[in-house]
Amino acid sequence: PRLQPTPALSFATRYLGCAIGINVTASHNPSKYNGYKVYGPDGCQIASEIADAITKAIEGVDMFDDVRTMPFEDAQAAGFATYIQEEVLDAFLDAVYDQHVEQEQSDLRVVYTPLNGTGLECVTRILERIGVTDIHVVEEQSKPDGNFPTCPYPNPEIREALECGIALCEQVHPDLLLATDPDADRVGIAVKDGDDYQLLSGNEVGVLLLDFICRMRKENGTLPEHPVAVTTIVSTSLVDPVAAKYGVDMRRVLTGFKYIGGVIADLEQQDEKERFVFGFEESYGYLAGTHARDKDAVVASMLICQMARYYRTLGKNLYQAMQDIYREFGFHHNRTVSYAFEGSAGAETMASIMTGFRSQPLSEIAGYKVEQFLDYQQGVGGLPSANVLEFDLEKGNKVIVRPSGTEPKVKVYLFTVGESASEAECLADVLSSAMAVFMK
């Protein structure tokens, strides 16, 4: 009877034994990007073949003549529609709570913003359940509002979306700023470093969470034998040494959380789903546990707060904890640069860019030799075909190019490694300039 997070739909589809779950959302985008997200009975986003069949069926419907409507109240009275009962949401939160990994109940001061989306109820309820009650909600961003009046683009990846939260932080001085995107399947954070607040990237939070979950589960004896973690081909290589430290089988899949959900489904078919400990995308999507088969900002918010509380006992914040990991495994820098191409002409330009790279693969980028060129459209490592190109450069650096699946953009992912943060960032600048020449 009220808006709830997208991961609650993934959970409810399985919990209620439904054949399908449907969510219409643009998430952090303007309404013109509204998408039709569909979950199958396993709670995973549907495979491409089913999506293509649904698209074909939609195209066969005349939106003016073929769509039948009736008042919702009449549909309820006739038994065609019913609201989901509260027990489903309670069960979802119980399943999220089952993923907690530390018993520390000392309070943590948190500033939280749902960015005018759906996260407020579930996030505050789960935080209170783990003993985090000192929560300061950004009032002007607390209620759902698809017009997003406080910022033009409520994406927790960008600082502009967090400015209202940062302003509140300057008043209440929290340990952590937490921001869930409007459909509450992704979460961004910021912590005070010196005089300003540092935003941690999706890759950084993913690495921190993997390390923290494995560390705590190893200490309390709940880390399974042969644990499995999953990330995507465009996520940081820094997860590999962290996973190896704990004996975790680190698997990579194509971009899209449905592929991470697919790994869980495969493990479930082998009666080994307990081996799954964590999955994440560089675009701020995280999942611990198998209660959902999609990214879940509710469970991620809980674990991030537990992690912040743990490091506070060591006299550190999450930014400082991340610097420790860099010093241990090397300074990895990741950057995503997007190039927009609107309209039908833009679609043709995007296709031309990808065709150009395929017909004449680069032998070097900014003076760095291409040691390996991978075309995922041909199938790589048993993964499904995908319109993705990868250029593996010398010295552990890498460039990946792919068209976005949800926006009219070509995305360029830059991966650099340096002996210092500034060295890795400077190299990313150089690679970014070199790739920009081709995005025309």
Q: Annotated catalytic, 27?
A: yes
Tokens of 352: 């031309």
Tokens of 434: 């070199």
- Per the residue annotation, which of 27, 201, 283, 301 is the catalytic one? 27
Of 72, 148, 122, 424, the C-alpha closest to 298 is: 122
Per residue in 129-168, pLDDT tens?
999 999 999 999 999 998 999 988 899 999 999 999 999 9
**pTM for the whole structure:** 0.93
Per residue in 290-315, pLDDT tens?
999 999 999 999 999 999 999 999 99
**Where does the pLDDT of residue 69 fall: very low under 50, low under 70, confident under 90, or very high at 90 and above?**
very high
Tokens of 41: 């009975």
Residue 285: per-residue pLDDT: 97
**Where does the pLDDT of residue 15 fall: very low under 50, low under 70, confident under 90, or very high at 90 and above?**
very high
The one-letter amino acid code at 377 reads Q
Residue 32: per-residue pLDDT: 81
Task: State the chain's mean pLDDT as an integer.
Answer: 95
Residue 106: per-residue pLDDT: 77
Per residue in 321-376, pLDDT tens?
999 999 999 999 999 999 999 888 899 999 999 999 999 999 999 999 999 999 99
Residue 262: per-residue pLDDT: 93
Q: Evaluate whether 188 touches 285 at the Cβ level (below 8 Å).
A: no
> What is the gyration radius of the CA atoms in the chain, in angstroms?
22
CA 303 to chain centre: 14
How far is residue 367 from each of residues 205, 339, 358, 430, measured CA to CA in Å?
Answer: 31, 23, 20, 10
Residue 35: per-residue pLDDT: 84
Phi-psi region of 226 (alpha: psi -120 to 50; beta: other; left: phi over 0): left
Secondary structure element (H or E) that encloses residue 337, with its range: strand 331-340
What gap in Å lies between CA 368 and CA 350, rounded to an integer? 25
Residue 406: per-residue pLDDT: 74
